Structure formats: C-alpha cells, structure tokens
Structure 1
Amino acid sequence: MDVLALVILAIAVLGVALVGSVLGLVVSRRRKPAPLPDTHTDVLVVPPVDPDAPPVELSAPPATLEPEAPAESLAPESLAPEVERPESTASRLVRLRQRLAGSQGGLGRGLLALLSRDRLDEDTWEDIEDTLLTADIGVAPTQELVDRLRARMRAEGGADARAVLREELLTLVDPTMDRSLRISGEDGNPGIVLVVGVNGAGKTTTVGKIARILVAEDRSVVLGAADTFRAAAVEQLSTWGERVGVDTIKGEEGADPASVAFRAVEEGRRTGVDTVIVDTAGRLQNKQGLMDELGKVKRVIEKQAPVTEVLLVLDATTGQNGLIQARVFSEAVAVTGIVLTKLDGSAKGGIVVAVQRELGVPVKLVGLGEGADDLAPFDSGAFVDALLGG
C-alpha cells in the first residue's frame, strides 16, 4: 500500500472519531440524570434502658373539650324567678292580732287606766275624751263613745270597766258592716277591683299584696298597670305579678290610663280569669283633674264589665289628712271599701272609726308591715282586742 492511501485512511478514521465525540456530547447534554432517591431518615436516639426501673405507663392524649356556653346564651326561662306561694288568710289573721296588740295597745291601756279610777269626775272624762281625740277617732265618734260610757258606768255601778269599754268600742267600729271583697263578676265576667289613692300611701304595693291574697285562695288574676304617669309604679307592679305568676298589662309611660285599664279587663275576659285588679294614678294637678281621670277609667272599664269593688288606700298615719283624701276620692268615684296601710307602729288606730264614719263604707283590709304578706282582712273583734292590749 502506498503512502497516499495510508494518509487518506488515517484522515477518515479521525473524522469518524470526531463526529462520534460531538454526537455523544449533544446526547449527554439533553439527558438529565434521574434524581437520586431520598434515603434520609430521622434518627431516633433511644436512651439506655435500666432493667431495674418500673415499667412506664403511656397515657392517651387528652380528649378535646367542648367550650362552655357563655352566660349570655342561657335561655331566659332558666333565669325566670321562682313563683312564690303566698301566705294563707288564716295565717295572716293570726299575725294581724299579734301585731295590732303590739302597736295599738297604748290607747286601750290609757282608757282602762282612766275608767278604773275610784272616782270618775269631770276631769277624768275630759282626759278620756282627749285620749280618744289623740287617737284620731274623730270629734263626733268620740263624743258618742264618751256619752255611752258615762251612762253605762253610772247605771251599772261596779261594772267591769274593760268589758264595758270593749263592748262600746266594738259598737263604734261596727261589726255589722260587710267587709267581704267583691272579687267575683257575673255572667261570665271577672270581678274587677279598681284601686285608688294618693301616691305615697302604698297604693301600688297594696295592689300587689291583694293579688297575693287572691292567689293564696287559688284564684286567677290579671293586673292592670294604669298608673302610667310613673314608670316606677308600672315596673313595681310587674315585679309583684311575676313573683306569684300573675300577668300584668302595661302601656307606654304617659299612655292613656283608661286604655290600659280597658286592655287589662279585655285580657281578663279573654283568658277567663277570676279577678282583674287595676292600679290607678294618684297624683294629678288638681282635684277636678283627679275626678275626671278616675271617672273616665271607670266608665271605659264598664263598657266591657261592671266594676265590682273600688278600694281606697289610705295611710293610717296621716290622721285627718287621710279624711280629706277620702272625701276627694269618694267624690271622684264611688268607693266601696277602704284599705288602711301602715297601721303598725302607731297608736292612732281610731282612724278606722273616723274614716268609716266619713265615707259610710267599711275598712276591708289593713296593712301591718313591709312584708309581702303583711296585708290582712280587717277583723273588728281582733282590732278592738288589740286596742285593749290583747
């Protein structure tokens, strides 16, 4: 083989080798190596085990606790006040005697001391008269009682002064008066009790206490908060009702009292309750305004059903001022009964006689304290015994 042929062969071999190298470089650049598998693992270091150590108990993770409901989410019913059971009438009468004896005994003891003197001269009779007047019995009833006592003590000689005084006081209080509350209606209507009196005499509180007396006798009741000029009176009456489970019909502050009274009677008739008790306003600008307002309330009520009882609430400690109030209210509306509040703690029990004589209507209820059940039916015999100190 000649030299030229060898040269050509060498050049051809070098060309082929060069082309192969270029092609291999291109292919290697297009191929990416597959990622190596992640062979990393966490290493758990286990401390050496003491063969003498007690076995370890593994506890389960704590359970997820449900969050407590906030106080605000509690249902209103769960916060409703517990309905009270008022005291019975019999129990009230027992306390009536006890409290009257403690508060009114001064009058009777004073009279007995004077009547028990060996000689009943004119000075003694004047002292007896003064004692009775101080007790707010009134001028006419006092003169009547003194005259009767003088006649009996003169005629009966050594008569028991206590027995004579009790009989004459009982006659003066007049046990023949009908003191029952007219709390029942006719022809399917509820009894309607209208309660009147000046603010400050305990009128709204008395309405609540009367409701308690009726509930204790298992009667159903609706209250009418027609004293709309005093927001406090409306809320106070509602609270009294809630305590014994009785509904109270209310209106906006300053609303027409007659309209509230009308709705109360309407509700009482609709639900078939036994008695509707209506509280009224006790403070107006003048006597004429008072008469007009109360007259309107009564007329509006009687478009649905007759008013069966009109109770006048008087503060027993006001004395002759109470008689003036009694006259005003009796002119505004026909009063059928009197409620004397705050009779405890005062020796002026003679107001019972005076106000009955003034209006010709009986004292039907007396209030003897601040407690919810410190209102009781008036008992003539218990009252006279209390005047005499038991």
Structure 2
Amino acid sequence: MSFFKRLRESISSKAEAVTNKFKEGLAKTRSAFIDRMDDLFRRRKKIDEEFYEELEEIMIGADVGVNTVMELIDGLRAEVKKRRIEDPQELQPILSERLIELLRGDEKVGLRYADSGLTVILFVGVNGVGKTTTIGKLAHQMKSEGKKVLLAAGDTFRAGAIEQLEMWGQRVGVDVIKQSAGSDPAAVMYDAIQAAKSRGVDVLLCDTAGRLQNKVNLMEELHKIYRVIRREIPDAPHEALLVLDATMGQNALQQAKLFGDKTGLTGLVLTKLDGTAKGGIVVAIRQELDLPVKFVGLGEKMDDLQPFDSEQFVNALFTKWASAEAEKA
C-alpha cells in the first residue's frame, strides 16, 4: 500500500469536518506551494541543478525557512543518488514524507490544565496579531465543553482593548475582570485570580498588552504579571502562549525566538493562516523552535480556531498529491 493511500485511510470520518477546515484554511498556501511544486515535477523532465534551484525557490517563497529548505534539498540529493532516480515525479512522495517528519514533533499537543482547581492561561505577543480574538474563540470552545471560564483584561495600555475583550465576553457569555485604562496589569491579574477562585472557575484566560520584544519596560511588566500569578498559584500560568500572525512569515519566527528567550513560553498560536500563501512558516517554526504549535486560526468564524494536528495539516496541504497517488495504488 502506498504512503499516500495509508495517509488517506488513516483519516477517520469523525475527523472529516476538521480536515475540511484545514483544507479551506490552507487553500492559499496550497495554491502557492504545492501547486507550484506539482507543476515543477510535471514540467521538468530531468533532475538537474535548475530543478533543485526552482524547488528551493518555491519552498523559500512559502516561508519554509532557509535552513529547513537546505536540509530538505540535501536529503533529496542523497536519495536521488542512492536510488538513481531520474524522473522528478518520483521525488514527490519522498519530499512529502520528509516534510511530514519535520511537522510531526509532538502529536496533538493539547493544552496543559491544572491537576486540580484553577487553570491559568496567559497570552502574549505584539499588537495586531489577534490575541484578543484568539482568547474569545478559545473561551467559546471551552464553554461549549462545559468548562466555567473567566477572562482577565490585562491589556490596560491599548485604547479600546478592555472594551474589545468585553465584547467577546458578552458574545461568548463569560465574565471579564477589568480595571480602568492605565491601571497596573498585575493588579488586574490579582483581582482576576481572586474572582476565579471565589467563583469556582475552571479556566482563567489572561489578555496582556501587545508589546515589542525589545521594549524593556513592557517586558518587565510581563515579568511582574508572572510573579503575581505564581505567588497566588505556584504552578501557574499553566500555559504561556505566544500569538503570532502567520501572514508575517519569517518575521513571526523571529518574534517567537526573541519572546521565547525572555518569557518562558510553553506554546504558540498561529493566527490568520487562511490569509497567507506562506503557510510553510508552520514547518519552519516546528523545525527551528522547541515549542509546539497549540492552535491555528483558519478563518473568521467562532470555530475556526483549531487545535494544531500535523496529520490534518499535512493531509490538507498534500490533498492533491494524496488523491493522485492513492488512485494509482
């Protein structure tokens, strides 16, 4: 049985709806990345330096990452020499399997919850990446699962940030703990934790001000928030998630590296994946950072924030190749 046929058969009917979301959300990346590679493999009649250069250009253009691309190309060269491959189309399954290996990492890495009592999840990142929207969508998911959720409006700096989180709270049907604009964010977190404890809340989702990683005062403020949370709940925050905008490509990867050095991150949320042709950034992030991608944003709807699953991601990305190869088998 071929690799692609096994891949298709491994996807249960229960997962079809999620798979379709990934397929729709990755349409732009598939068009710019896989379709271009498909054209290359069909158009080129031999494997030469021009073939490798064009393949390299396509992958770098999808933001797979230069280091990762070089590793992939070197691997393909070795396989071509070892197997004496002459037809470029024979490289399709080899390349896709290599990409899958890079993506796999920790399979279906879910959120870490407290063993008992309150779970605290902190969200960080620069302005405009979709932190507040991500919090709102995650609150909706958790509430639909029967969890009691509370939101903390820790972004007291940006104009309208508190109101935006309140709008999400009203939309989802969860309360928001806040203070006035300009208040100390650490004080907001303290109030939110006390409220969550007294109300028997399961999960506290904490918004923070968008900050550039090179702004010392804002990073110190973030450390203060950490200290207050840990003082009240020693093993919290149970997750510290960096929210990144997928449309930023390699800039998002650089942000992740810089934030990770300073803030004790436990995972990433990659938003706006549906709005970019550079979904290869997921491959680069998984390869270059020792951090799991916990969620990906695949659209504007409430349920378009999906837990990252490498199998679903790969199936959606390589759907054309999988279909073609399975039919051959």
Shift of 1:139: 1.2
Q: Which residue of 2 aligns with 1:257?
A: 185
Task: Map 1:163-182; keep pairs closer than 5 Å.
Answer: 163-177=93-107, 179-182=109-112
> Are the aligned partners of 1:92 and 1:373 in contact in 2 as well (CA < 8 Å)?
no
Q: Which residue of 1 aligns with 2:253?
A: 323
TM-score, structure 2 as length reference: 0.84
Aligned-partner SS, 2:275: coil
Shift of 1:389: 4.4
1:113 to 36, 39, 45: 39
Aligned mates of 2:19, 2:148 — CA distance in 1: 25
1:215 to 143, 146, 155: 143
Aligned mates of 1:92, 1:329 — CA distance in 2: 34
Task: Map 1:84-99; keep pairs closer than 5 Å.
Answer: 93-99=18-24
Aligned-partner SS, 2:117: coil
2:51 to 124, 133, 143: 124
Structural RMSD (CA): 2.2
Q: Which residue of 2 aligns with 1:6?
A: none
Look up the equivalent residue of 1:378 and give its one-letter code. Answer: F
> Are the aligned partners of 2:63 and 2:284 in contact in 1 as well (CA < 8 Å)?
yes
Instruction: Among all aligned residue pairs of Structure 1 and Structure 2, give the percentage whose two residues are the same amino acid.
Output: 46
Aligned-partner SS, 2:93: helix
Unaligned runs of 5+ in 2: 1-13, 321-329
Shift of 1:231: 4.1
Shift of 1:94: 3.8
- Tell whether 2:313 aligns with 1:388: no
1:100 to 19, 25, 30: 25
Distance 1:178 1:379, change over 3 A: closer
Q: Which residue of 1 aligns with 2:208?
A: 280
- Tell whether 2:230 aligns with 1:302: yes
- Tell whether 2:70 aligns with 1:143: yes
Shift of 1:141: 0.8
Unaligned runs of 5+ in 1: 1-88
Look up the equivalent residue of 1:371 and give its one-letter code. Answer: K
Look up the equivalent residue of 1:345 and give its one-letter code. Answer: G
Task: Map 1:1-390; keep pairs closer than 5 Å.
Answer: 93-106=18-31, 107-116=33-42, 117-156=44-83, 157=85, 160-177=90-107, 179-182=109-112, 184-186=113-115, 188-283=116-211, 286-305=214-233, 306-390=236-320
Aligned mates of 2:124, 2:198 — CA distance in 1: 25
> Are the aligned partners of 2:108 and 2:310 in contact in 1 as well (CA < 8 Å)?
no
Aligned mates of 1:339, 1:176 — CA distance in 2: 15
Deviations 1:9-31 (A, max 9, x none): xxxxxxxxxxxxxxxxxxxxxxx
Aligned-partner SS, 1:360: coil
> Are the aligned partners of 2:20 and 2:316 in contact in 1 as well (CA < 8 Å)?
no
Q: Which residue of 1 aligns with 2:4?
A: none
Aligned residues: 300
> Are the aligned partners of 1:100 and 1:387 in contact in 2 as well (CA < 8 Å)?
no
Moved more, 231-240 or 304-313: 231-240
Shift of 1:125: 0.4
Shift of 1:260: 0.6
Aligned-partner SS, 2:278: coil
Aligned mates of 1:250, 1:97 — CA distance in 2: 35
Greater length-normalized contact order (CA 8 Å, ≥ 6 residues apart): 2
Shift of 1:176: 3.2
Distance 1:219 1:135, change over 3 A: same
Look up the equivalent residue of 1:155 and give its one-letter code. Answer: K
Aligned mates of 1:338, 1:302 — CA distance in 2: 21
Look up the equivalent residue of 1:373 and give its one-letter code. Answer: D
Aligned-partner SS, 2:127: coil
> Are the aligned partners of 2:169 and 2:175 in contact in 1 as well (CA < 8 Å)?
yes
Shift of 1:128: 0.8
Distance 1:284 1:132, change over 3 A: closer
Aligned mates of 2:212, 2:125 — CA distance in 1: 11
> Are the aligned partners of 1:92 and 1:374 in contact in 2 as well (CA < 8 Å)?
no
Aligned-partner SS, 1:282: coil
Distance 1:285 1:337, change over 3 A: closer
Aligned-partner SS, 1:192: strand
Aligned mates of 2:110, 2:139 — CA distance in 1: 15
Which is higher, the Rg of structure 1 or of structure 2?
1
Look up the equivalent residue of 1:237 and give its one-letter code. Answer: L
Aligned-partner SS, 1:302: helix
Distance 1:260 1:358, change over 3 A: farther
Distance 1:285 1:115, change over 3 A: closer
> Are the aligned partners of 2:72 and 2:95 in contact in 1 as well (CA < 8 Å)?
no
Instruction: Determine which structure has the larger helix proportion and give its number.
Output: 2
Shift of 1:304: 1.4
Aligned mates of 2:149, 2:176 — CA distance in 1: 9
Look up the equivalent residue of 1:302 and give its one-letter code. Answer: R
Aligned-partner SS, 1:344: helix
